[in-house]
Amino acid sequence: MEQKAKNNNLYKAKTSKKDEFYTQYHDIEKEINAYLEYNPNVFRDKIILLPCDDPEWSSFTKYFAQNFEYFGLKKLISTSYAPDSKNYNTNYQPSLFEVNNPQYDIKKTKKNGKIFTLTKDKTGDGKIDVNDLEWHYLKGDGDFNSPEIKKLRDDSDIIITNPPFSLFRDFLNWILEEKKHFLIIGNINAISYTDVFSLIKKGEMWLGSTNFNTGMYFKVPPDFIYSSTYKFEKEKNGEKVNRVPGVCWFTNIDHGRRHVQLKLQSMSDNLKYSKHKEIKGKKAYTKYDNYDAIDVPFTLAIPSDFDGIMGVPITFLDKFSPEQFEIIGQGQGNLFREISPKGLSKKFVEDYYKAGGTGSIKEDHPVLGYYNENGQAIIPYMRILIKHKKPTK
């Protein structure tokens, strides 16, 4: 029991640490540029809300304030979360900007969130930018679930942020309650959640334009202590940053990358010339044992002329164009059960363990499985099942 409590605390400490990872300016700029390229008026006359933010730490507010006029924004609102409410103690030090403000109150600074707004040229220097941000304390702590922040959500057009990693799912549902446009950062593994995947399948949410294969570096609080779990630390411009793998943008705002179709080879050309040694020289693509589809372990090895269902790695979503492919479902868990009543056979499970499989699976387990050319039973890492909309002839 004691051990369980210890593990829970450890888990909480680990996930809450990641809740304080801050997005870098250039990563925001790169992603936003993709929406502007596709539609230069995407933000014109819009009210943008940046919740779970903090201009002292975060770059979202700075970026949008700097570009207020260029984007033609109607209003920019950003809110921060009270230091005392945070799961991870960041040793919050108020800045001079805050301390020198007549409304500064140390108690409120710790217990209340803040709201920053930008609508007009307050300084009178002829332009609207970051220097015109006005702020005051919120009534509450800035929790996105509080009525105060919900009201801001309801009144805004677009919600953009990197929400706390541990609350990603709650945050997405919070946005969807009001069907707003959004652009948020999350982990690609969130697609294993039924609600998240069904949005992607229905074409109501997609991945942003930045390729997520390399992961992203986030700024971490100055007192952040690296441990064996946080191996990829780097210091950039004197700031501590940490790499988080598998991080991507989720959005329902259109961008050009998702309308670029993949250039693919036919099945026979792949089998003859594929750059992947796992495909080149094979007689045929491997079929799953418990589902009528072929396994395609690399996105670029998708055969252009196959008209059946194909299981592809999740990195495919980075290249997904709704004009080229239809998403049928997912290859594991309840999502797989939705499209296939048949799980793994008893024999397959036995063969899987004989082949040295270490996962904990049993007969009828809802996951895709196949036999490789050596006759070994293999369960591939999460697959998305797709179909060509128009396979080439």
Ligand X SMILES: C[S@@+](CC[C@H](N)C(=O)[O-])C[C@H]1O[C@@H](n2cnc3c(N)ncnc32)[C@H](O)[C@@H]1O
User: What is the 3 state secondary structure string of 110-160?
Assistant: HHCCEEEEECCCCCCCCCCCHHHCEEEECCCCCCCCCHHHHHHHHHCCEEE
Least CB distance from residue 50 to ligand X, whole Å? 7
Kindly tell me which of 20 and 132 has the beta carbon lying closer to ligand X. 20
Considering only the stretches 51-59, 92-100, 248-256, 263-271, report the one whose residues sit in contact with ligand X under the rule CB under 6 A. 51-59
Residues numbered 57 to 76 that lie near ligand X (CB under 6 A) are 58, 60
Least CB distance from residue 58 to ligand X, whole Å? 3
Considering only the stretches 47-55, 129-137, 189-197, 300-308, report the one whose residues sit in contact with ligand X under the rule CB under 6 A. 47-55
Residue type, 306: F
Kindly tell me which of 159 and 302 has the beta carbon lying closer to ligand X. 159
Rounded Cα distance between 201 and 385, Å, is 10
Least CB distance from residue 227 to ligand X, whole Å? 18
**Residue with the shortest CB distance to ligand X:** 162
Least CB distance from residue 221 to ligand X, whole Å? 9
Residues numbered 17 to 46 that lie near ligand X (CB under 6 A) are 19-23
Least CB distance from residue 334 to ligand X, whole Å? 27
Kindly tell me which of 162 and 209 has the beta carbon lying closer to ligand X. 162
Least CB distance from residue 335 to ligand X, whole Å? 27
> How many C-beta atoms lie closer than 10 Å to residue 367's C-beta?
21
Residue 205: φ, ψ to 5°: -155, 150
Q: Which residues contact 51 (CB under 8 A, 6 or more apart)?
A: 78, 79, 142, 144, 149, 152, 153, 159, 161, 163
Tokens of 231: 């191996």
Residues numbered 85 to 124 that lie near ligand X (CB under 6 A) are 86
Tokens of 170: 């709650």
Task: Provide the terminal-to-terminal Cα distance of the chain, rounded to the nearest Å.
Answer: 62
Tokens of 264: 């693919």
> How many residues sit close enough to ligand X to count as binding (CB under 6 A)?
21
Q: Are 102 and 135 in contact (CB under 8 A)?
A: no
Binding mask 234-263 vs ligand X (x if CB under 6 A, - otherwise)?
------------------------------
Kindly tell me which of 145 and 214 has the beta carbon lying closer to ligand X. 145
Q: Are 77 and 115 in contact (CB under 8 A)?
A: yes
Residues numbered 139 to 198 that lie near ligand X (CB under 6 A) are 142-144, 161-165, 167
Least CB distance from residue 61 to ligand X, whole Å? 9
Q: How far is CA 276 from CA 61, 273, 288, in A?
A: 44, 9, 20
Positions in the binding site for ligand X (CB under 6 A): 19-23, 52-54, 58, 60, 81, 86, 142-144, 161-165, 167
